[in-house]
Amino acid sequence: MISYVERMLIYPAPSIDRGNWKTKWLDKEDVHFESSGGVRLHGWYAPVENPDCVVLYSHGQSEHVANLINVVARLQESLNASVLVYDYRGYGKSQGVPTEAGCVADGLAAQQWLAERAGVLPEELVIVGRSLGGAVSTAIAAERGARALVLENTFSRLTDVAAYRYPWLPVRQVMRNRYDSVERISQYTGPLFQMHGTRDRVVPAKFARELFSACPSAHKRFYTVRGGNHFDSTPPAFYAKLREFLAQDETPTSYGLLDPAPTLATPSVA
């Protein structure tokens, strides 16, 4: 019973009837690939000609790919990127039941599929994740590397968020889905670009700061959205700063020229 309630709280997959599955203005392909345990996953691949980068995007806990049309278009236009968005097991048109191990395996399977399709190495992909997808993306980058890890409104550990929201429950002792991103990001030394809003009441910014501090990368930036909350759309200025970040020379010499933790403020989007 406890594990069932935990799964419902962590993985509130939206109804497949939500979102726009039949959009015609986004040039995309329906794709399917296999994850661990033979679980069949579904995603959308939206390539551009002669991309400057290839992006794997992992979504939040209450989304599926049909909610991400604008996200895909923004990534394409802002970064000149080919983009894959996909659904974890139990989400959208993907099979299976979500678990931490399963969702991480799904992210790794998506990374491998996209690398093969785009003709690049897995570690050459830009790995982007929002909220729960940030934890999945951190696990991917920690295990296989990335051209850059990009995190939006994500957390240090899922147990930290649960303890903050349910302080009267022994969540740290009983939770099975823990998503210890602090431990995982300590294994990642590549570029990191992280965003968080100052009014986020779902994942307080202190958890994002803890995660950022735990990353040993010499090439990392923290982007603060003044007044931003957890469910706001990603501000356009974020994509402009991300494009600048990705365009920087990623040599050890240039690392030493960067402020390791500047705060880049934007106008309030609340």
Longest dimension (CA), the chain: 54
Find residue 45's DSSP bridge partners.
29, 84
Alpha carbon distance 46, 27 (integer Å):
6
Q: What is the pLDDT of residues 30-89, one digit of tens each?
A: 999 999 999 999 999 999 999 999 999 999 999 999 999 999 999 999 999 999 999 999
Do the Cβ atoms of 262 and 224 come closer than 8 Å? no
* Residue bearing tokens 């030493």: 256
pLDDT band at 123 (very low <50, low <70, confident <90, very high): very high
Alpha carbon distance 270, 209 (integer Å):
20
- The mean of the pLDDT values for the chain is 91
Highest mean pLDDT out of 3-12, 182-191, 225-234: 182-191
| C-alpha distance from residue 122 to each of 32, 75, 268 (Å) | 18, 19, 36
pLDDT band at 269 (very low <50, low <70, confident <90, very high): very low
The per-residue pLDDT for 248 is 87
Residue 133, amino acid? G
Do the Cβ atoms of 148 and 194 come closer than 8 Å? no
- Percent of the residues in the chain that have a pLDDT greater than 70, as a whole number: 91
Do the Cβ atoms of 40 and 105 come closer than 8 Å? no
Element (H, E) at 74: helix 69-79
Closest CA to 158 of 98, 114, 71, 240: 98
Alpha carbon distance 208, 195 (integer Å):
8
Pairing of strands 81-86, 40-46: antiparallel
The per-residue pLDDT for 175 is 92
Do the Cβ atoms of 141 and 108 come closer than 8 Å? no
HSE-CB for 181 with a 13 A CA cutoff: 31
Alpha carbon distance 240, 262 (integer Å):
16
The per-residue pLDDT for 260 is 37
Pairing of strands 53-58, 29-34: unpaired
HSE-CB for 202 with a 13 A CA cutoff: 19
CATH (residue range 2-255): 3.40.50.1820
pLDDT band at 255 (very low <50, low <70, confident <90, very high): very low
Closest CA to 154 of 95, 217, 92, 202: 202
Closest CA to 181 of 148, 201, 147, 209: 209
Alpha carbon distance 245, 269 (integer Å):
22
Closest CA to 220 of 248, 182, 181: 248
